[in-house]
Amino acid sequence: MDAESLYRSQRAYFMKGQTRPAEFRIRQCETLKRAVLEYEPQILAAIGKDMRRPETESYTSEVMMIIKEIDHAVRHIRSWMKPIRVRTSWMLRPGKGYILPEPYGNALIIGPWNYPFQLLLCPLVGAIAAGNTSVLKISEIAEHSAKVIEEMVSRYFEPECIAAVQGGPEETQHLLDQEFDYIFFTGSVAVGKIIMGKAATRLTPVTLELGGKSPCIVTPEVRLETAARRICWGKFFNAGQTCIAPDYVLVQESIRDAFLASLRDTLTQFYGRDIRESADYGRIVNRRHFRRLLRLMENQKVYFGGETNESELFIAPALLQDVSPQSPVMQEEIFGPLLPVLTYRSLDEAIHFIRSLPNPLALYLFSDKKATQKRILQETSSGSVNINETLSQVTSTTLPFGGVGESGMGCYHGEESFRTFTHYKSVLHRSIRFDNSTKYAPYRTPLKYLKRVMRLIG
């Protein structure tokens, strides 16, 4: 089915009102859960073929997160849907005001390749819970995963309600030409700007989940071994192909050497002395991204790692030291297993450096000092902050996930996913039995008296 026909069939389906009842939304969520659980082996196998990601990483970051989102939505859909009563001013009585959550209508969800299931299906949970129909545009880069998604969605859902579309930029363009009521995009800043430009022509609301250079600050008082483990886990999970991975580390200069040694020892503990042989370390998704990362590594001083094998799309975790802030590796989002380690003398210097760059999607701080934590929270801006940990903020159904500035707009996860795909309609309901004639022309109430009354009633 072409993009226009698909859009029109979903528009007609939505207009019949079938997606609005709570029972329908809950059934759709439960159907999605059954689909994911039944296809779990195929999901894990497809990701393994696309990126050689370890099954443990794929299960926890894809299957488990989707199921958590579904279960949370199913428990709360009915309460989320309820009208929200608000206080009605004296001037509007007798009457009542309330806010009515209603679906936008037809949603377009455009997913990325790095977490091809989670970053497409978690937003879908929100769209279903809010009562929308949805078209899922699958990334063509993770091709094995794309095939599984299309097969799974087409088997479990009617296309006029939920449909998955494969293809490249041309297919995405055709979808963007349709009059969707909401667009949800996860991907790069550059493509996000294109999506927003297309949405602007019809004033279509959007959520943009982008990326950027997420900093990680390490202060002298922390336990370096623990910090190194948590940073290595967050950075090299999925071979660094994570939008909220620590992009670079700012370490206080007095502990730089000890910190680098801890990172090196941690990588050996994680993956062994020959990382290429480790079953717990993934690969780069394709040759284009492999060569992009090689270019970022050029002329860099590698403290540890960085071995490559193009035939396997293998790049070992690379710890880079003495990195210039002007080098390409510090000007682009890395999105791979390269970790620049820079130093700072004072916290003022670290904060100034972070503020000189666009707002990141995440910021990581390793410090046990409350004063340091307070300063970072107050003096920097980022989509999220994680103190003494990495990545884990994204797993919570009670913490909104999203960016700020160039790292994105809007958020989702848990109730925020429902809110994202919901229009909150204001409703004022007044009685017809009583009518105050003083508000109508010809105006008889002196303005002086009217002002006094307004001050008294607030």
How far is CA 187 from its chain centroid? 9
Q: Are 267 and 305 in contact (CB under 8 A)?
A: yes
Which is catalytic among the residues 57, 62, 69, 209? 209
* H-assigned helices in 205-336: 224-236, 256-271, 287-297
Residue 2 per-residue DSSP state = -
| Residue 65 tokens, joined | 């997160």
Bridge partners (DSSP) of residue 340 are: 320
Handedness of CA 173, 66, 17, 105 (dihedral sign): negative
How far is CA 40 from its chain centroid? 22
The CA distances from residue 259 to 319, 336, 344, in Å, are: 11, 21, 13
Angle at 210 between CA 207 and CA 211, to 5 degrees: 155
- Annotated active-site residue 30? The verdict is no
The maximal CA–CA distance of the chain, rounded, in angstroms, is: 90
C-alpha span between 381 and 400 (Å, rounded): 15
Query: Residue 161 — left, alpha, or beta (φ > 0 → left; ψ -120 to 50 → alpha)?
Result: alpha
> What is the spatial order of strands in the sheet that 422-430 belongs to?
84-86, 95-103, 422-430
Residue 244 per-residue DSSP state = T
Q: Are 98 and 150 in contact (CB under 8 A)?
A: no
| Residue 313 tokens, joined | 């799309």
Which is catalytic among the residues 62, 243, 411, 416? 243
- Annotated active-site residue 243? The verdict is yes
Q: Token pair 């455009």 is at which residue?
A: 110
Q: Are 104 and 199 in contact (CB under 8 A)?
A: no
| Residue 284 tokens, joined | 């780069």
Q: Token pair 């290429």 is at which residue?
A: 276
Rg of the chain on CA atoms, in Å: 25
C-alpha span between 333 and 115 (Å, rounded): 17
In terms of Cα–Cα distance, which of 240, 398, 391, 375 is closest to 319?
Answer: 240
* H-assigned helices in 2-113: 3-15, 22-38, 40-51, 55-58, 64-81
The CA distances from residue 227 to 239, 309, 340, in Å, are: 19, 29, 16
> Which residues are known to be catalytic?
209, 243
